[in-house]
A and B are shown apart, each in its own frame.
Chain A
Amino acid sequence: MKALFAIAWRSAWNRRFTLALTVLSIALSTFLLLGVERIRTELRENFSSSVSGTDLIVGARTGSSQLLLYSVFRIGAATNNMQWKSVQALAEHPGVRWVVPLSLGDSHRGFAVLATTPAYFDHFRYGDRQALQLREGKPFAELFDAVVGAEVADRLGYHVGQKITLAHGSGELNAAEHADKPFTVVGVLARTGTPVDRTVHIGLPAMEAIHLEWAGGAPMPGLKIPAEQVRKFDLTPKTVTAALVGLQNRAAVFAVQRWVSTYPAEALMAILPGVALDELWSVVGMGENALLLMSALVALVSLAGLVSVVMAGLNERRRELAVLRAVGASLRHVLALLALEGALVTLLGVAIGVVFAVLGIALLSPWLQAQFGLTLRLSEPTLNEWILLASLLAAGWLASLLPGVRAYRLSLADGLSPRI
């Protein structure tokens, strides 16, 4: 057997270019599969980590996915707002520990503007209950202060001290600008990998201030209130879009939810973020399945490539196997030789593919973060990834055995005189 290994090694070395192609093709498919799988899990992870530590999200009655979409993901717009009085009533509920009101609707160069209270920076949590960190400056204190998310700052090159103007409504180009009331960036948040990165945060009174002379979504003609005079007005908001709620005791969550939905003054609803995220994912998850299907196809194609590469080299091997048989190698030896080579080639290919994947994630993750807001982390393989690797090894080995079995049958039929 030892002699056989030595010969197998020399034989493989002799065919190193063909084998290198095979190894490369396995490595590439491993890389693709692992990459797609990692993106898939991280996508889901990123998605479900966009909000945490919030027990309820309250807003005007609508669909739960819709409320989640605009309050957390800044996608779409609320059809109805909730009254400020309702927010106050909610805050006074004995089971409620904190309430952070959110007011949306304006934008800055395509990024959503979120008006809220300074409590937002204390209570908002994402990922594994991580708090927001400022990488520069401080939270807003003055009326026209703004705190921008990491991506806003990076994409637009903003630092503390930058003057910005907000636009009414959402959209990159908007004629209706609040140009007369510029804001000053006083803080930049550290990256979170959530929609917070793409948000401009201002105080609720500021939101009120820039809309003083507005009615029904358009500026009132002839009315101009200069920025320095707005402080004379009552800047308490009349309505907000939604509110994040933290409870004294999580066990009370359904009681408070019921209290909200039966609130007599207006039609409100309260959703559990985790449940709503899962519901929403079941819709968005279609894309996840498509990714999974694609990676399966990729694996299939590269295995087919593997079989054809080995098959192409088979005639060359047929004579070699006949010579080995003639000098005393038994059929068992021949089969062991082919199986061993297949296993080693597959193992090497998968190992190189894993290295590719690790390097790829390490090198591409800053770009993915900047371009798509997707955080890819290097971590131990998940159970799914282990299963993926194991099935790649098994499938690759079986695929390389297929030509091996053919070679074996040929050498059985050839006897000692190969007919080629």
Chain B
Amino acid sequence: MIPVLHAETLRFGWPGAAPCIDIERLEIAAGEAVFLHGPSGCGKSTLLSLLAGVLVAGAGRVTLLGQDWAALSGSARDRHRVAHVGYIFQQFNLLPYLSVLDNVMLPCRFSTRRMAQASHDGPARREAEQLLDRMGLDASLWQRQAMQLSVGQQQRVAAARALIGQPELVIADEPTSALDEDRREAFLDVLLAACKAKHSALVFVSHDQRIAARFGRHILLPAINRAAAGAAA
């Protein structure tokens, strides 16, 4: 079975700077929940950009579902990404002028594959509603404008959006850093359960060790990144 993500002899440096990523090998299997952690500045965001095909590695290769990012043109990378990857930011995930439901539906509007998968049984709208329901968002909120929601609610809408149309990979870039402890736990509960139900692999980036126990696999970035080993100490 092909892994969701596969990287080998991956090296990357910003122009004019020393390499900041140098990873021998990294593999993430289907349905895996991975906790990626490390101090700030160790290259977490850069690694996520490389994995999601936003940045292309200078040397080595990264494949998503067997497809080498470097072999695709810019717009082909955009299409491949939206077809297979859901993305959750730290905060401000939503378009404030769209309704909650429309925000969740966004990936379906840009990707026919996500649309097709979301409308597998019943209309895509139904899946969006089910996901919102699973995230514990009351039906009375669905038609509200996204900017009227609290930060915790917005993050859950973002999670529902990342999961719609069953992407094989969900990348979450410190999604809980703006939440207090109770909301953080609740958010993790629903996110992990939903990823499990949809068989989506989850790469969860955080520097918060307290939530590490919730994940099946831990990756300490400085431990695998030879470029940061010397610099980050």
Residues of B within 8 A of A330 (CB): 74-75, 78-79
Please choose the segment from B19-27, B89-97, B176-184, B193-201 that sits at the chain A interface, where 4 or more of its residues have CB less than 8 A away: B89-97
Interface residue total, chain A, C-beta cutoff 8 A: 24
Interface residue total, chain B, C-beta cutoff 8 A: 30
Q: Is there an interface contact between B95 and A323, defined as CB atoms closer than 8 Å?
A: yes
Residues of A within 8 A of B98 (CB): 7, 10
Q: Is there an interface contact between A323 and B82, defined as CB atoms closer than 8 Å?
A: no
Q: Is there an interface contact between B96 and A14, defined as CB atoms closer than 8 Å?
A: yes
Pick the contact of B87 from A7, A329, A333, A416 — CB < 8 Å? Answer: A416
B81 at interface (Cβ–Cβ under 8 A)? yes
B52 at interface (Cβ–Cβ under 8 A)? yes
CA distance A328 to B74 in the complex (A): 12
Q: Is there an interface contact between B52 and A416, defined as CB atoms closer than 8 Å?
A: yes
A319 at interface (Cβ–Cβ under 8 A)? yes
Contact with B along A7-37 (1 / 0, CB 8 A): 1001101100000000000000000000000
Q: Is there an interface contact between B78 and A331, defined as CB atoms closer than 8 Å?
A: yes
A324 at interface (Cβ–Cβ under 8 A)? yes
B111 at interface (Cβ–Cβ under 8 A)? yes
Residue in chain B with minimal CB distance to A333: B110
Q: Is there an interface contact between A14 and B97, defined as CB atoms closer than 8 Å?
A: yes
Residues of A within 8 A of B93 (CB): 323, 326
What is the predominant secondary structure among interface residues of chain A facing chain B?
Answer: helix
Q: Is there an interface contact between A11 and B95, defined as CB atoms closer than 8 Å?
A: yes
Q: Is there an interface contact between A327 and B107, defined as CB atoms closer than 8 Å?
A: yes
Q: Tell me, rounded to whole Å, the shortest Cβ–Cβ distance linking A333 to chain B.
A: 8
Q: Is there an interface contact between B95 and A324, defined as CB atoms closer than 8 Å?
A: yes
Q: Known contacts being A415-B55, A417-B173, is A328 close to B48, with CB within 8 Å? A: no
* Chain B positions 47-100 with a Cβ under 8 Å from a chain A Cβ: 48-49, 52, 54-55, 74-75, 78-79, 81-82, 87, 89-90, 92-98
CA distance A409 to B61 in the complex (A): 26
A332 at interface (Cβ–Cβ under 8 A)? yes
Residues of A within 8 A of B55 (CB): 415
Q: Is there an interface contact between A328 and B78, defined as CB atoms closer than 8 Å?
A: yes
Pick the contact of B54 from A7, A327, A416 — CB < 8 Å? Answer: A416
Q: Tell me, rounded to whole Å, the shortest Cβ–Cβ distance linking A315 to chain B.
A: 12
A218 at interface (Cβ–Cβ under 8 A)? no
Residues of B within 8 A of A215 (CB): none
B37 at interface (Cβ–Cβ under 8 A)? no
A-B pairs, top 3 by smallest CB distance, nearest first, are A328-B82, A328-B110, A14-B97
